[in-house]
Structures are given as structure tokens and as C-alpha cells.
Structure 1
């Protein structure tokens, strides 16, 4: 005989309290919240018009069901997270409160949800700091993006955390300490005001690090995390050299360092022949000297942008060969952006055999000999004047 499955009475009280925190006038009829009718049991009425969505009950034979998943649809209401009785939802595993109008601080009482694995507070109006006392030992995904959070990001005590997103806030101070996140795979810290230098070490499990559009300064430390595939530190204040270790990293595939203040590129041992990089963007920096020829030897590279720097010299033959054809085990360069530098000399002869639309090449705004804009690979602006070129490169 199948036993009746009911919601635990404490969970029902917590859901009632949650609904009471919301002004009835701000709940549209189409909202999930408006369907919550506690004259019936939530777990027994999930597929009725009394509880259309918003919670999931894990049922089991001869057992009392507990609410393990709580999510709210964007109903256009405003409330404080501190008013929700978190202690009465100890079995909650997924908490999705994104795209509502929650305001005020993030309560440290969220630590009273010891089984939580996913916490999403995205796209609200939360403010103040991230509480340093917040501790969720089983949490795997944490979303704080698109709020108004301020102050420094505290050290986090989430040993199982795999994904952390806090982009588009107003966080300041140093880059967060990630040493207590040994299982972190993905971090997005973009669009904040983080400053100071990058940490000297990263979690070995990290696969993707995105921290564009901050105020991070100093030199780029050697990339010690062996699993990183994507590194985006564009639109910061990084200085010094691009480390050689980035071009010999065994797994790094996408490197974006545009819009910084970098001045040079270190040459890796082995001339980049072991590189896994597919895309490299070093545009809009202060790079000087000759174009690094070793990049034309990187076997998987198919997109390279070095635009708007202060590079000089002729286009390396390695670049021309990689644009014109792909060798055995080597990818063809499909995107080569070199405009806005002080490159001089003749256009590699094979470029004239390229068909428009076959690939993207921009060589405009340089000091190249006979590179009119009617050639598709010379787009990006007319070549600099003789005066500008002599002033920079000499006669």
C-alpha cells in the first residue's frame, strides 16, 4: 500500500512566512507565488492549480516529504532576505531567488542551510558586503552577479564550490583569496572594481577565469593552475610582460589580455610548438619591438589580434605561412588583426592570392609599403603618413 506523502509542517510554516513577507498588491495573478494555497498540502498538490510552480518535493515510500528545492519566479515584489525563516528549511538543497527585487544585505543566516548545493541571488538589488561568516560546506554553485554588492570579497569557506559568479557588482579591494576553494572550476569576477595584483596561485582545478573590466594591476604571475583553458583579464591595468608560461601551458586555449598596459611578450622555450592556444588577443596594450614570430608556429592557433600597439618591423614569414596554408597537424590562421601599429616593409606576396571573405586580416594603419585599402587584408584604415613612420621607426 502506498503511504501518503506530506510536506513537513516546519517547511509549510516557512513557505507561509515567505509569502507573508511579500506585499499582496505586488504579486501579479500569473505569478507562481499567487498560486500557493496552503489549504492543501504542497507535496500532494504539485500538479494542481494550488501550487503551479516554485517548489519541488522529493517523495519516498512511507516517509514524510521535505522541501528540497525552492525557486521564485520574477513577480516584481520587493523583500528582504533577512525576513525569511531559513532555520525552518534545513533540507533545502537548491535555492534560486534570481531576478526578483530582493534588497538589503545578504544574511549570514543562510549558513543555517547546511545541505544547500546551489544558491542563486543573481539580478536582484542586494547591497553591502558578502558576509565573511557565510559557510556552506556542500555548496557547489554560487551566483551573486548583477547586484550592488560592495567592499572587499571575503575569504570563502566552501570546500565543494565548483562555480562562482559575482560579475557586475561594485566590489573593491584585492582579488579574492581562492585557496579555500580547492574544487573551483569556473570564476567570473568581471565588471567590478577589484584592484591590486593577481594572486600568486590559483586552485589546481580551475578551468575558466574571467576577470575583465576591473582595476587589477601589477604583473601577470606564472599560470600555475594546470587545468585552465580560458583566461580573460582584459580591460585592467596589468603591466610588464606577457609570461612565457602562458604560451607553453598544456591546456590553455583562449588568452585575452586586451586593453591593459603590457609592454612586451616573453618567448617560451620550444618556440610555442607545444602550445594549446587557439585564440590570443593582446590588442590595445603598449607592446613594443618586433612581432613575436613564434606565434606563427603555435600549432592550434587560429585567431591572433595584436592591434593598436607600438609594434614595428616586417610581418614575420611564420605569420604569412600560417595564413596561407595549414600544415600537417597545424591549424590555419583564420583571423589575423595587426592594424594600428608601426609595421613596415612589403606585404607578403602570398597575401595577394587570398580571396576576400576566405579569412579576416586587418593590416591598416601601419607603415607598410603598398597596402591600399582596396585590398581586403589592408582594411582597418589607410597607412600612416611617412612623417609618422619616420618619427617612430627612423628613416
Structure 2
């Protein structure tokens, strides 16, 4: 019997299998051939090569070999398009290869981030006309922002922040109508913002902090209604904060600290109910209320520091601010009681109400998260509540509390009684006539000036104070380093990597390098106190050296630290810049003042007024810094030795008779040398050297 053969369908399937395999092979070959035919636009390839040739030759990418097209490999990988947040792709490009039937690639993203590139922005960039994202952040690019960037109209993200760019902002950037994010923070720009930038109506993020800009904010910015983030701190913007800022209702993060804005604050800010972070500070004049914040109940961070606010905390219903974690209303003129509802907020961790006119007693309870409270420099009084504990950082300096063993004060760091208003320790019965402190150090040392510098390594937090066991001096710190989750308030001299501590670096302009190896730093307000001093005139010597910023041509050198110096409540220095005065980092600079002490008490106050960069070499690196200080009796240079040194310098330095008479006259009156350095090597051209130790500087360092 004949066996049945395979069915027709089986016979056809068996025959079709080789055909299907052949078809797949042909398709794969076709795809490979298609990919082989896909090439980067030659104009863009040449432009990219030119960019790297000018500013990036040292990190020449592998795709610049003669046989490799730039738009290959990771550049065309659609699964990883966010090159800005991928540290393994730097430098990097991204391409779109769907042009002309998938035969032409255009470069759409270029990232050259934190590579310490040096030089001007290359002209060749103008030929990368399909760029949507250009990231040149954290380099050392110099020269102006080129106007041709305005021709790259496809750009959505442009970051030129943290560079050494100079000149004005070109009005041509206003042509970038598709721009979503613009960053020009931390540069050396000048002039005002061009009104043409108001044409960037899709802009959601604008970073112009620490850029060097000045003048009023242009009225055309009222058109930027898509803005969500506006950082404009540390500039010299003038006039009032415009009313139209209140119409930018999509804002979630607004920062206006360290400018020259006039008060009062516009009431239209009350419309910004989507804000989660608001930081305004350092308003020049006028008076404002707190009423405008009443509806900003989405706030997580609220800083209205040094804003000339005259109001009562009871004018705001703080119980509605359930998300608030940090509140800073310090350095205002806020009066009345501290509301219980404010301290009961369960999300609140940091509360800064210092330097106001608050009165009455402290509330009876606090929220579970509140661990850092500053009430210093108010008019508070009464008993200490039961919530006072060693687990809190609580600053009650300069109030009217009576400190005794019966009112929970034993739970506070000792010495608070010596730092209350009108009742400092040893009032009328002085105990000392000098002291010296090596700020941040854990051991004492003898200085070349004969002073013994005592250690100062107390673990101060965001709202802390410390008084020595035998109370001769104390220190108070207030403030939180914003954006820095953990930041020490004592820093050490670092090597170039900023990761390894060093204790052997030699500092210029001083025989006492050891004094400068460590320093105490504060994000807001740092005070040193002399306790039980004899009344009379004192020479207060403050010593500084910048140890956070490098001097080389790197983005890590672009940081700037600026603060004010007050002694006995009188401002002695405004916008003091250590590195500018010392002509570089790791160089000592000394400031000296004749200060009268009349109530056996001395206060030295270093105050941050919103100036300086925020985040170099890392986030939360700003505010006052001091290396050492000494307080000694007498007037500067009033002895015969000072006169002899002055005469010797006049002769050896061949100073003009006018200069010599000036020196001798000031020495005779006990006012210091007062020599103006017009041709200096290490000292600033614009300062007067204010002590006869400057005569050593004149002889040893050829300052004048």
C-alpha cells in the first residue's frame, strides 16, 4: 500500500523557509548598507572638529579619526538621549539621522561639561545649526558671549554658566524663541539685561546669578510667563523688584539675594502661589510687611533675610504652611511674640528669627522636626521652656534671659549668661586685656607677633554659640549652607583636588602659615566676643586667607567670597573679598582697627549680605571666613619703635617726602601707617595698610 505523502501545506512551508531566511539576510544587508550610507553633514562634521581643535584638543574623541563618522555609536543611541546627566558621556554629541531618507545626520546636542576648557567660544559653533542643546558649563571659557549664538534658533537648552566670560549679554540671544533654559551664572559679564531677552517666551529656567549684571530688570521680562525658575542673586540689579514678577504665576523657585534692590517688596508677589522656594534678601531701603506671603502655602523654603520687614509674625497664619521646612526672617524689624503655631509646624527643621525685635517668652512647645532655632539678638525674656534640650542647636545670644540653675538653662551650652544684653560677665570688674584665637584650630600656637593663639574647634551648627571655660571670649554662628546636605563650619587648606586635606601648605605674605591651615566659615552670621576686657582702646587684628578657591585657570578658581565686617556694631568693611585683597588664594591678608571698649565687652561680626558665588568648589560654599584674630590694648604704632621702623622704611624704600610725612604723622597720632599702595606686588591697589606691621610688609614683600 502506498504511504501518503506530505500535505500540500507542509510541502509549501518547507520550501518557503530558505526563502524567508534569504529575505531576512537581504534586509539586514540593506540596513547595514543604509547605515553605511548615513553620514554626518560634512559642514557640521568640520565645525565639530574645529570646536575641539580650538578648545578641546586634549580630549579629542575617538570618533574624530579619519575613518569614523561622528554620528555613530552612542551618538545615535536612542535609548540614552539625556547626555547632560550621564557622566560617562563627556564630551559627547547626539545626532538625528532621519534626514533625507535616513542618509544624513545632523548634530543636535553637544556637551563639553567641566573639562576646564580654556579660550573663547569657537566661531565654528555657528555652523551647528541643528543644535537643540549646548552645554559648555564649568570650564574656563573667556571673551564675550558671541552674538552668533542667536542664529542657532533650534536651541532649547543653552548653558554657559561657571566660566570666565566677559562683556555684555548680546541682544541677539533674544532670537532664541525656542529656548527653554538659559544659564549664564557665575561669569564676569557687565551691563544690563537686553530687553530682547523678553522674546524668549518659552523660557522656563533662567539662571543669571553671580553673572556681574546690573541695572533694572527690563519691562519686557513680563512676557516670560512660562518661567518656573529664576535665579538672579549676587548681581547689582537696581530699582524696585518689578510688579510684573507677580504675574509670572508659574514660578516655583525665585531668588533675589545680594542685589541693590530698593524696597518695599511688591505686594503682587502674593500671586505666586506655586512657589516652593522663595529667597529675597538685602533690600536697600523702604519698609515691607509679611502680608504678601499669606497664600504661599506650598513653600518648602522661605528666606526673607535682611529685607527691612517691619511687621508682626501674628499677621501670617503659619499653621497653613504644612510643607515649610526652612524659614529665615532674620535681620529685619519684626516685633511682637513668637507664635505657637509657627513652632508647631511638623515639617519645619530650620527656623532663623535672629536680629529682630521679638519680645515676650518662648512658646511652650515645638514640632517634632524642629532641631535648629535661632532667636539671637532679640528682646526675648522669661523662663526656658521644657523643650530646651542638648539635642537642639538653639541660639539665644543677646536677649534678656536670666540664666540660672532653676529654669532649664543647664541644658544649654555654658556661658549664655555672658552673652545676654546689658549684663555681660565681668561688667565693671574686668578680667583680661587681650586674647587671640586661631579660628578652626584644635591646638594653640604662638604667633610671630608674640600672641598665643588659642584653639577654636567647637562643633558649631546652624544656630550655635560657644564660650570658653574661663570666659574670656566666645563665638556665635547662625545660618545654613543652602543646597549642601552636610557642610562643615570649619574648613582646612585643601590641595588641588579638593578631596584631600593638607596641613603643610605655605601661605604667602606671612611668617605664620600654621595660623591659616584651618578657618571658620559661616553661611550667614559669625560673631566673636571679647568678655571681661578692660575698658580702653584696643587694636583688633583680623587675619584671612582664601583656602577654598584655586588660583589656576580652572572653573574651581571662579569662586568669589564676599562679606561685611562690623566691630562694635559699626561697619568697617563692605563687600570684603579676601582673595582680591590678598591678590590670590593661599595668601594672608590682615585688617587692623582701633576699637574702643567701654562696657568690658567686644563684638566682632562677619556678615554675609548675599554676595559671592554659591557653589564653587561645591554646593553651599559661601559666606564669611576667618583664619585668626587678636585683640591687644593700645593704639596702632604709637611707640618709638614704630617711628623708627617708619623712618627706616622711608629711607630703604625711597618713599617721597609726602609719603614719609604722612606715615610719621599717622604713627604719631596712633592711627597706623596709612600708606596707600599704588604699585603693589601682593597688596591691593585700593587699600590702605593700617598698622605698623604693614611696614614689615613694605620691607619684606615690596608692597609699595
Task: Return the TM-score normalized by structure 1.
Answer: 0.70
Q: Does 1:153 align with 2:232?
A: no
Deviation track 1:302-329 (CA, whole Å, cap 9, x = no partner) reads: 554444444444x35xx33x25xxxxxx
Partner of 1:120: 183
Partner of 2:329: 257
Partner of 2:166: 103
Partner of 2:284: 215
Deviation track 1:96-148 (CA, whole Å, cap 9, x = no partner) reads: 11222221111221122222212111221121111112111222211111111
Based on CA coordinates, which of the two structures has the bigger radius of gyration?
A: 2
How far has the Cα of 1:150 moved from its partner? 0.6
8 Å Cα contact 2:263/2:288 also seen in 1: no
Deviation track 1:155-182 (CA, whole Å, cap 9, x = no partner) reads: 3122322111121111111113224523
8 Å Cα contact 2:193/2:213 also seen in 1: yes
Match of 1:77, SS state, is strand
- Specify whether residues 119 and 9 from structure 1 end up closer, same or farther in structure 2 by C-alpha distance, changes over 3 A only: farther
Mean Cα displacement is larger for which, 250-259 or 54-63?
A: 54-63
How far has the Cα of 1:236 moved from its partner? 2.5
Q: In structure 2, how many angstroms separate the alpha carbons of the residues matched to 1:137 and 1:304?
A: 37
8 Å Cα contact 1:210/1:231 also seen in 2: yes
Structure 1 residues 311-330: aligned runs within 5 Å = 311-313=358-360, 315=361, 319-320=363-364, 322=365
Partner of 2:240: 174
Match of 1:178, SS state, is helix
Q: Does 1:131 align with 2:206?
A: no
Partner of 1:284: none
- Specify whether residues 136 and 260 from structure 1 end up closer, same or farther in structure 2 by C-alpha distance, changes over 3 A only: same
How far has the Cα of 1:149 moved from its partner? 0.2
- Specify whether residues 298 and 76 from structure 1 end up closer, same or farther in structure 2 by C-alpha distance, changes over 3 A only: closer
- Specify whether residues 299 and 127 from structure 1 end up closer, same or farther in structure 2 by C-alpha distance, changes over 3 A only: same
Deviation track 1:1-44 (CA, whole Å, cap 9, x = no partner) reads: 34555555776687689x49x9x5xx4643679x9899976434
Partner of 2:524: none
Q: In structure 2, how many angstroms separate the alpha carbons of the residues matched to 1:84 and 1:201?
A: 37
- Specify whether residues 258 and 310 from structure 1 end up closer, same or farther in structure 2 by C-alpha distance, changes over 3 A only: closer
* Aligned with 2:256 (options 189, 192, 216): 189
Partner of 1:239: 310
Structure 1 residues 25-64: aligned runs within 5 Å = 27=55, 29-30=57-58, 42-44=70-72, 53=91, 55-60=93-98, 62-63=101-102, 64=104
Q: In structure 1, how many angstroms separate the alpha carbons of the residues matched to 2:207 and 2:64?
A: 26
- Specify whether residues 193 and 15 from structure 1 end up closer, same or farther in structure 2 by C-alpha distance, changes over 3 A only: farther
8 Å Cα contact 2:145/2:170 also seen in 1: yes
Q: In structure 2, how many angstroms separate the alpha carbons of the residues matched to 1:60 and 1:151?
A: 46
Task: Return the TM-score normalized by structure 2.
Answer: 0.42
Match of 1:30, SS state, is helix
- Specify whether residues 36 and 78 from structure 1 end up closer, same or farther in structure 2 by C-alpha distance, changes over 3 A only: farther
How far has the Cα of 1:152 moved from its partner? 0.5
Deviation track 1:33-75 (CA, whole Å, cap 9, x = no partner) reads: 9x98999764348769xx9626433444735533221122545
Structure 1 residues 200-211: aligned runs within 5 Å = 200-202=267-269, 203-211=272-280
Unaligned runs of at least 5 residues, structure 1: 266-289, 324-329, 389-395
- Specify whether residues 16 and 114 from structure 1 end up closer, same or farther in structure 2 by C-alpha distance, changes over 3 A only: farther
8 Å Cα contact 1:362/1:378 also seen in 2: no
Partner of 1:163: 229
- Specify whether residues 312 and 185 from structure 1 end up closer, same or farther in structure 2 by C-alpha distance, changes over 3 A only: closer
Q: In structure 2, how many angstroms separate the alpha carbons of the residues matched to 1:358 and 1:293?
A: 20
Structure having the higher helix fraction is 2
Match of 1:231, SS state, is strand
Q: Does 1:71 align with 2:138?
A: no
Unaligned runs of at least 5 residues, structure 2: 1-30, 77-88, 107-129, 426-704
Match of 1:375, SS state, is helix
Partner of 2:410: 375
8 Å Cα contact 2:331/2:356 also seen in 1: no
Q: In structure 2, how many angstroms separate the alpha carbons of the residues matched to 1:187 and 1:32?
A: 39
8 Å Cα contact 2:137/2:159 also seen in 1: no
8 Å Cα contact 2:304/2:328 also seen in 1: yes
* Aligned with 2:146 (options 76, 82, 97): 82
8 Å Cα contact 1:305/1:338 also seen in 2: yes
Q: In structure 2, how many angstroms separate the alpha carbons of the residues matched to 1:251 and 1:198?
A: 24
How far has the Cα of 1:227 moved from its partner? 3.2
8 Å Cα contact 1:128/1:151 also seen in 2: yes
Partner of 1:286: none
Deviation track 1:262-315 (CA, whole Å, cap 9, x = no partner) reads: 3x24xxxxxxxxxxxxxxxxxxxxxxxx554554555655554444444444x3
